[in-house]
Structure 1
């Protein structure tokens, strides 16, 4: 019996020694980043424009917000600001909430997310599935749901022991996540040769991080910031906005005094047109802000001949099936219909009288 056990031990050692090394991510958060850059050959009419899309929907939480969510928490843990058993509290229109819900669940932290009526139901469901507790505000403060959410966050921090606010709207780790990740990947994949970068703005973290990297490395890339009609960013006038994750009703600290090569505003309908044009021409389901970004590219295509452009597309259209891709929602929320949108898809971009460039 002893001889048989010894032979079995030797056989097990041989099997262990011969096993190959598995190449894998060390947990789901290790999958954040390294998203694909995809050539879009059909979206524009002008074939000489090289248009590439950075598909941030390929992050494990489904959006560009995975990058700052993960980085903000990791930084807070390293700095001793976030301890075991803590409660993370944040305001979000959806994607940051999902990124933080995922990161908090991975680290065993409680997460409370403050949302408003414009949050996509599917995004809220995803957060809940990842263990988030949802707190909803129903009324604006000073004409802004963002201001109302931030007020509620501060109230929750006061009554919740051992709580921590990442504060995506002022946390420098937000733009740093994109400086060290998003734009570095784009720069690597294009050999540093980009004429124009198009990016949606809300907290302005993505746009800032990309701009700072490009300036630091002396690239000649022009950064086009895409904002929403009704957003107060960059001196805009407040108004109703229905596409989440684009623009702001209350200026975040990160956005103050920020400048970019050009700022272009889009309407909700512009975003819908861009999403549906991308689906029809490129077989790509892109999110609301991404539709707006693509329409800004299309509005400028006459001036982009022979240029290489990259558009950062923040999330997927799968989260907008009940809104942007829903004909009933078009009628009830935007007062338009599928035929009008189809007409706009085949007309010059940003034909809305509301759309303008600064």
Structure 2
């Protein structure tokens, strides 16, 4: 029976992971390279951060660091917050999310629907910008609220550990024959989870990090960025540059162009960090041998960016010198 092949999930938490790996044929039509997208947007709350959220919370519960009824606190630009909101609701934990003015309005509405409490930071720190200000607020809340717990996606070792399973799923699907994996960098939890797995298993896979221009992760000064979900204004606690084969930096406009190219060529609607990776691959493709197998993450759902990335009026306002993306060619 067909039903026998369907995974029986006992909870919404069990539905996290085992996401599809999609062979992408149309994105780079002139290339002989094999491209695969890991559809992390298929996770229950819509992003790869479902894995991080559930893994950290379940381990904290098992280790007695939190109990049902306690308060979880996190700073997040969006996807981690949503992953936590869903998991906390199911696990009977309270959640406070610290956000800044860059929060996506759609994400904000989803958080409120899940029952999360939102704390707003309105002024950036002189050093570290809004991220540093959010982290300061987290510490303030931890001191003020009894039985509170910081999931700390920025420094909790369970963050990279959560993504060992993701890369394991990729390796199983392609029987270990993976030449390149491109990963967007922010906390660097996903990136270093992959890097550690590659090292521990002595794999041939080359890991390429994709950072945002205006991020400090790979050096340089923090600058204003419009596209959330990648890059950082403070250094990562996880990043080990010697374990990364190479890295590229992409602009906000690169992210937008990559999103539209992915949508028009493959019919996949994803968020800004995924678009950045698509453009990074375009810029790196000349260095990749024909017939190589390249994987990247389709990190999150694009519906949250309908008012920005997928809104031509918003693009025109923020990038007035850019031609109308609606009329651009499909793919590259």
* TM-score for both structures, normalised by structure 2: 0.94
The answer to which of 25-34 and 141-150 deviates more is: 141-150
Q: Which runs of 5+ in 2 are unaligned?
A: none
1:116 aligns with 2:116: no
Contact 2:192–2:240, Cα closer than 8 Å, also in 1:
no
Equivalent residue runs for 1:1-358 within 5 Å: 24-143=8-127, 144-179=129-164, 181-255=165-239, 259-304=243-288, 305-339=290-324
Alpha-carbon distance change, 224 to 80 in structure 1, aligned in 2, over 3 angstroms: same
Deviation at 1:332, TM superposition (A): 2.4
Q: Is the 8 A contact 1:233 1:251 kept in 2?
A: yes
Distance in 2 separating the partners of 1:203 and 1:328? 31
Which aligned segments of 4 or more residues in structure 1 are displaced greater than 4 angstroms?
256-259, 340-347
Change (3 A) 1:318 1:243: same
The two structures have a TM-score, normalised by structure 1, of: 0.87
For residues 13-72 of structure 1, the C-alpha deviation after alignment (integer angstroms, 9 at most, x for no partner) is: xxxxxxx9x962111010000000001111113331100000100000100000010000
Q: What per-residue deviation string (whole Å, max 9, x for no partner) do you get for residues 302-325 of structure 1?
A: 222221100112112111111100
Deviation at 1:256, TM superposition (A): 6.3
Question: Does the CA contact (< 8 Å) of 1:228 and 1:267 recur in 2?
Answer: yes
Aligned length: 326
> Following the alignment from structure 2 to structure 1, what is the Cα–Cα distance between the partners of residues 169 and 79?
21
**TM-aligned CA distance change 1:29 to 1:324, over 3 Å:** same
1:255 alignment partner, SS class: coil
Q: Residues 135 and 159 of structure 1: is their aligned pair in 2 closer, same or farther, counting only changes over 3 Å?
A: same
CA RMSD of aligned residues (A): 1.8
3-state SS of 1:285 partner? coil
Which segment drifts farther, 159-168 or 301-310? 301-310
Deviation string, structure 1 residues 86-141 (Cα, Å, up to 9, x no partner): 10010000000000001110011110000111111111111111110011111110
Pair member with larger Rg: 1
Change in 2 beyond 3 A, CA 1:147/1:258: farther
Q: CA deviation at 1:259?
A: 4.2
- Larger deviation, residues 56-65 vs 298-307: 298-307
Q: For the residues of structure 2 that align with 1:335 and 1:55, how far apart are their CA atoms?
A: 32
Alpha-carbon spacing, 1:344–1:261, altered in 2? closer, same or farther (3 Å): farther
Cross-structure match for 1:15: none
Distance 1:345 1:282, change over 3 A: closer
Say if 1:70 and 1:103, in contact at 8 Å, map to a contact too.
yes
Per-residue deviation at 1:251? 1.7
Q: Post-superposition shift, 1:224?
A: 0.3
SS in structure 2 of the partner of residue 248 of structure 1: coil
Q: Secondary structure at the match of 1:156?
A: helix
Tell me what 1:6 maps to. Answer: none
1 CA distance for matches of 2:32 and 2:97?
45
For 1:116 and 1:82, the matched residues in 2 are separated by 26
Q: Secondary structure at the match of 1:249?
A: coil
Residues 1:346 and 1:35: Cα distance change in structure 2 (over 3 Å): closer
The answer to whether the 8 Å contact 1:101/1:131 transfers is yes
